[in-house]
Amino acid sequence: MDILALNCGSSSVKYQLFDWTRKEVIAVGMVERVTVGDSYIIHEVPGRETYREEYECPDHTTAIHLILKVLTSKEYGVVSDMSEISAVGHRVVHGGEKFTCSVKIDNNVLDAIKDVQHLAPLHNPPNIAGIEAAQANLPDVPHIAIFDTAFHQTMPQHAFTYPVPYEWYEKHGVRRYGFHGTSHLYVSKRASVLLGKAPKDCNIITMHIGNGVSHSAIKGGISVDTSMGLTPLEGAVMGTRCGDIDPAIPAFIQEREGLTPKEIDTVLNKKSGVYGVTGKYTDRRDIIEAAEGGCERSALALDIEAYRLKKYIGSYFAALGRLDAVVFTAGVGEMGWLIREKALEGLAPLGIILDKEKNRNTMTRKRETMITTQDSPIKVFVIPTDEELVFTEDVVAILEGTYTDHMNFKYSFAESTFQRK
């Protein structure tokens, strides 16, 4: 049984094909520059050379058709025809309060996703376009929605409610939702295994740090707080997003600079974060190199990001009351030893004792590593995330009728015998 996982962005479609029988990835890739011109596909199969093809994709339907064409190609493909694909799992960024777990997509589900797309106008529309395109290309297989927000629907009301007029929540759904749920789910379950405890016995802070950044406070295996809010703009410093700022700043700058609300929104989402501070970089490797070369603004960007990370660790420690572990994941979290070191510096009084040598030698996306000393009361792990495996297991369980929700479902990666391939 082969499961196709799709992650549709506004101008890209990422995919992974997973052989459930052999429990391994058989192909992974991405179509870039969808809808914007000069589009192309990068297709990777274990043991083969990477394949790249230029192919104009003016819409997501064409992009998904291209993916299926490559997957079934005699020369580059991995399946003989589309009938070997048993189901498709779709990442959906925002499910609002309607969805607390993954679901099979029917017309009612698709309508409900459309009803909340105003809460994620940059993300849900391409997610919806991807679902409809995949349904058009693969009309005879089940399609499953996996929601970024579902994992965080366990937050208590005092954690998700904003101190603004309550009718904003009642009328418009203004509340904290949180994102990167599948990543936080995966690495928190893996951390429980590394701790030798059941998830219900663990308090963990998970730190997903890439271009987008979010953190989660996980108590007894469930999310009780998270840094992103109504949208993915709130929270930590990110590649191009500002994260937490004084809410009066947008109105102030709008008036001073004569900008429209849409222009302000663009600045906060696409021209802020470490890019806003450095004026040119989003990739932390470039920022570190520039800082080492004497660029003061790049050094400042690193210090700002690490300082904010440290503050989130402290605040979530206070919210949890007891802490077993901190987990770093995603591109920067897995590779950025310097940012981890800066964020964890001075936290020994909390019980976090960093092994600097281990931390500096941990720059891989393939291995789970503890970067604190053996006697550190609180452990810190670097755990490569695997959101697509969550997609796949949810899809298979829904097909087999064994799926419940992330709190009760038995994921393979939550078992001590699990081995990452």
Residues 11-59 pLDDT 10s: 788 899 999 888 889 999 999 888 888 889 999 998 899 999 898 888 8
CB 326 within 8 A of CB 204: yes
End-to-end Cα distance, the chain? 18
Task: Output the pLDDT for position 250.
Answer: 95
Indicate the pLDDT class of residue 156, thresholds 50, 70 and 90. Answer: very high
Q: What is the CATH number of domain 2-147?
A: 3.30.420.40
For residues 333-343, give the mean pLDDT: 95
Annotated catalytic, 148?
yes
Within 8 A by CB and 6+ apart from 56, the residues are: 37, 38, 39, 62
pLDDT(313) > 90:
yes
Report the distance separating Cα 330 and Cα 308, nearest Å.
17
CATH topology of domain 197-382: Nucleotidyltransferase; domain 5 (3.30.420)
Indicate the pLDDT class of residue 421, thresholds 50, 70 and 90. Answer: low
Report the distance separating Cα 16 and Cα 128, nearest Å.
18
For residues 89-99, give the mean pLDDT: 90
CB 231 within 8 A of CB 238: no
What is the separation of C-alpha 212 from the centre of its chain, rounded to a whole number of angstroms? Answer: 8
Q: Choosing from 2, 148, 324, 386, which is the catalytic residue? A: 148
Give the predicted TM-score (pTM) of the model.
0.92
Indicate the pLDDT class of residue 407, thresholds 50, 70 and 90. Answer: confident
- Could you give the residue range(s) of every CATH 3.30.420.40 domain in the chain? 2-147, 197-382
Task: Collapse the DSSP code of 257 into the 3-class scheme (helix H, G, I; strand E, B; otherwise coil) and give the result.
Answer: helix
pLDDT in tens, 198-242: 999 999 999 999 888 999 999 999 999 999 999 889 999 999 999
Report the distance separating Cα 276 and Cα 307, nearest Å.
17
Q: Which amino acid is at 203?
A: N
For residues 55-75, give the mean pLDDT: 89
Indicate the pLDDT class of residue 166, thresholds 50, 70 and 90. Answer: very high
DSSP letter assigned to residue 354: B
Indicate the pLDDT class of residue 125, thresholds 50, 70 and 90. Answer: confident
Task: Output the pLDDT for position 394.
Answer: 93
Task: Output the pLDDT for position 60.
Answer: 85
Q: Mean of the per-residue pLDDT values for the chain?
A: 92
